[in-house]
């Protein structure tokens, strides 16, 4: 019972996917995109539910001043709900690999749900996880300092994927600093400065592509320090 | 065709509601709350879909440092999806008036959808509008200055509910400065300073409880100025 909740996503990728939808591709419209192709550009209305069958896409939003704000990556089995876009939709979806998608209209989705109504719950679950992720980021961007945002991200990755070895914790996920910048909404230079500070304080390090947390205790204490 | 998209919500209230759900209240659990009663506290898992039948509730999230971040108000016909809460759910829902709700489990929702599958689309529509709202706020909080955030809010209200009278635009919505602070995520003092500046520049004023925009052109120009 206690485990019966949605796992949090700490990175804006691998959101809850719906493999069962693949059985209904004959109802939808199959679309193929080459790496770099736009799937939607800002101002376009898709009015479809997208299922990623294969490949990878990047979902972004434009700010009012036209800056691109990265939202998330979607890969195999992921859904992107653009059935009900808002007016002047500032959404942009670009294929970052050769990508195959199946697009469903709301009518087609109704047909699918008539056949298997648990799909409706699965979609709801996927969208809940995504909303939770973005609402959390909103709270964080409102109240947390740059250092806190980055330390939280690292602490969450320690909890989720960290592997302890010789008293250090390894995080074996590619996490370049420009990705940290996109996730936290911080300027690239700010990310560099915080990471440098954490390295100087012997909290963080790198082993090839792996991130090393030398001192998880110190990372946690650091967070407490900056939260007050 | 061009109107066939979801209207944007400029205030975190009156999100797309689902009056049709009221016909299924016999399936769910009716719950009554007095003004001030908590409906969920942080750390609790509801695992229900809430329908507000009457009254008003305030939905907030706690930040990692325990600060309350206001999310939105929900009134009659509004739904709150807490079927799939995230682990360590930081959500808080408080009745701000005497409130009657009906709570549905995922099993009960499946029953409802079996009977009327358009309800699934309606729920999806409501959640899409809400996600759009919060994702927009996230982009805004990442890139926009305090003045830009407040000017945007006012410009959007001008577009949505503004009534022109003698060359001025009246916004007849109660919008106290602490509400602007909650909506924009800005400190109350910052909101006061920006509003004071806009008043000094003869852009904004008050007529009783109504907000007056004396010069919409100047407000728009102001936005362009601050966006560059």
Given B8, B65, B137, which is nearest A87 (Cβ)?
A: B8
Judge whether residue A226 has pLDDT over 80.
no
Q: Which residues of B touch A71 (CB under 8 A)?
A: 135
Q: With contact defined as beta carbons under 8 Å apart, do B138 and B130 qualify? A: no
Q: How confident is the model at residue B9 (pLDDT cuts 50, 70, 90)?
A: confident
What gap in Å lies between CA B162 and CA B212, rounded to an integer? 9
Residue of A nearest to B112 (CA): A117
Q: Which residues of B touch A117 (CB under 8 A)?
A: 110, 113-114, 117, 120
Q: How confident is the model at residue B226 (pLDDT cuts 50, 70, 90)?
A: low
Q: For residue B178, what is the enclosing H or E element? A: helix B177-184
- Hey, how many other C-beta atoms are within 10 angstroms of the C-beta on B63? 18
Residue of B nearest to A115 (CA): B114
Residue of B nearest to A129 (CA): B86
List all residues of chain A from 65 to 84 with a beta carbon under 8 Å from chain B: 65, 67, 69, 71, 81, 83-84
What gap in Å lies between CA B95 and CA B37, rounded to an integer? 5
A13 part of a folded domain: no
Judge whether residue A5 has pLDDT over 90.
no
Considering the domain architecture, whether residues A109 and A46 belong to the same structural domain is answered as yes
DSSP-derived 3-state class of residue A143: helix
Considering the domain architecture, whether residues A25 and A136 belong to the same structural domain is answered as yes
Buried b (16+ CB within 10 A) or exposed e, B146-170: bbbbbbbbbbebbeeebeeeeeebb
Given A81, A134, A228, which is nearest B138 (Cβ)?
A: A134
Q: How confident is the model at residue B2 (pLDDT cuts 50, 70, 90)?
A: very low
Percent of chain A with pLDDT over 70: 96
Distance (Å) of CA B181 to CA A42, A65, A225, B8, B25:
29, 22, 26, 20, 36
Q: With contact defined as beta carbons under 8 Å apart, do B162 and B213 qualify? A: yes
B121 part of a folded domain: yes
Distance (Å) of CA B24 to CA A165, B1, B52:
55, 32, 13
Q: Give the model confidence (pLDDT) of B163-216 as tens digits.
A: 998 889 999 998 999 999 999 999 999 999 999 999 999 999 988 888 999 988
| A110–B124 CB contact, under 8 Å | no
What gap in Å lies between CA A51 and CA A26, rounded to an integer? 13
Among B141, B166, B190, give the residue marking a domain's end.
Answer: B141
Q: What does the pLDDT read at residue A75?
A: 97
The label of the residue with tokens 């030398």 reads A214
List all residues of chain B from 154 to 183 with a beta carbon under 8 Å from chain A: none
Q: What does the pLDDT read at residue B228?
A: 44
Q: Taking the alpha carbons of B72, B73, B79, B83 in that order, is the dihedral positive or negative?
A: positive
Judge whether residue B8 has pLDDT over 60.
yes
| B132–A86 CB contact, under 8 Å | yes
Lowest mean pLDDT among A7-11, A37-41, A47-51, A136-140: A7-11
Task: Kindly report the average pLDDT of chain A as a whole number.
Answer: 91
Considering the domain architecture, whether residues A132 and A30 belong to the same structural domain is answered as yes
Q: Region B26-45: what's the mean pLDDT?
A: 95
| B136–A69 CB contact, under 8 Å | no
Q: What does the pLDDT read at residue A1?
A: 34
Percent of chain B with pLDDT over 90: 77
Q: How confident is the model at residue B10 (pLDDT cuts 50, 70, 90)?
A: confident
Gap from A182 CA to chain B (nearest CA, Å) = 10
Q: Give the model confidence (pLDDT) of B95-129 as tens digits.
A: 999 999 999 999 999 999 999 999 999 999 999 99
Q: Is B85 on the interface with A (CB under 8 A)?
A: yes
Q: Give the model confidence (pLDDT) of A177-223 as tens digits.
A: 999 999 999 999 999 999 999 999 999 998 888 899 998 888 888 78
Judge whether residue A4 has pLDDT over 60.
no
A11 part of a folded domain: no
Q: Is A122 on the interface with B (CB under 8 A)?
A: no
What gap in Å lies between CA A4 and CA B96, rounded to an integer? 30
**In this structure, what DSSP letter does residue A67 have?**
-
Q: Is B185 on the interface with A (CB under 8 A)?
A: yes
Among B86, B118, B141, give the residue marking a domain's end.
Answer: B141
Gap from A208 CA to chain B (nearest CA, Å) = 31
Judge whether residue A2 has pLDDT over 80.
no
Supply the CATH number for residue B195's domain.
1.10.10.10
- Hey, how many other C-beta atoms are within 10 angstroms of the C-beta on A88? 11
Considering the domain architecture, whether residues B125 and B153 belong to the same structural domain is answered as no
Q: What does the pLDDT read at residue B93?
A: 97
What gap in Å lies between CA A53 and CA B189, rounded to an integer? 50
Considering the domain architecture, whether residues B118 and B27 belong to the same structural domain is answered as yes
The whole-angstrom distance between residue B87's C-alpha and the CA centroid of its chain comes to: 24
What gap in Å lies between CA B11 and CA B31, rounded to an integer? 27
Q: What does the pLDDT read at residue B208?
A: 84
Q: Is A227 on the interface with B (CB under 8 A)?
A: yes
| A63–B144 CB contact, under 8 Å | yes
Considering the domain architecture, whether residues A154 and A106 belong to the same structural domain is answered as no
Q: What does the pLDDT read at residue A223?
A: 81
Among B106, B141, B176, give the residue marking a domain's end.
Answer: B141
Overall domain count for chain A: 2
Expressed as residue numbers, the domain containing B151 is 144-227
B209 part of a folded domain: yes
Q: Region A87-105: what's the mean pLDDT?
A: 94
Considering the domain architecture, whether residues B135 and B87 belong to the same structural domain is answered as yes
Q: How confident is the model at residue B5 (pLDDT cuts 50, 70, 90)?
A: low
Q: What does the pLDDT read at residue A190?
A: 97
Considering the domain architecture, whether residues A54 and A102 belong to the same structural domain is answered as yes
Q: Give the model confidence (pLDDT) of B41-88 as tens digits.
A: 998 888 999 999 999 999 999 988 889 999 999 999 999 999 998 877
What gap in Å lies between CA A188 and CA A89, rounded to an integer? 27
Which residues sit opposite B57 in a β-bridge?
B74, B95
């Amino acid at each position: 019972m206690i485990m019966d909740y949605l796992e949090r996503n700490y990175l804006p990728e691998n959101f809850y996917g719906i493999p069962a939808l693949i059985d209904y591709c004959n109802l939808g419209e199959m679309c193929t995109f080459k790496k770099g192709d736009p799937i939607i550009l800002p101002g376009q209305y898709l009015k479809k539910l997208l299922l990623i069958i294969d490949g990878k896409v990047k979902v972004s939003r434009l700010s009012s001043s036209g800056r691109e704000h990265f939202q998330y990556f979607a890969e195999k089995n992921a859904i992107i709900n653009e059935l009900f876009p808002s007016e002047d939709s500032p959404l942009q979806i670009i294929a970052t690999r050769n990508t195959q998608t199946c697009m469903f209209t709301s009518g087609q989705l109704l047909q699918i749900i008539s056949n298997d109504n648990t799909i409706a719950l699965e979609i709801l679950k996927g969208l809940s996880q995504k909303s939770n992720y973005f609402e959390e980021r909103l709270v964080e961007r409102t109240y947390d300092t740059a250092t806190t945002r980055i330390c939280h991200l690292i602490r969450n990755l320690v909890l989720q994927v960290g592997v302890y070895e010789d008293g250090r914790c390894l995080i074996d996920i590619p996490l370049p600093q420009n990705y940290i910048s996109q996730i936290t909404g911080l300027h690239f230079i700010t990310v560099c400065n915080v990471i440098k500070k954490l390295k100087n304080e012997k909290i963080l390090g790198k082993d090839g592509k792996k991130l090393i947390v030398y001192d998880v205790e110190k990372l946690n204490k650091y967070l407490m320090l900056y939260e007050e």
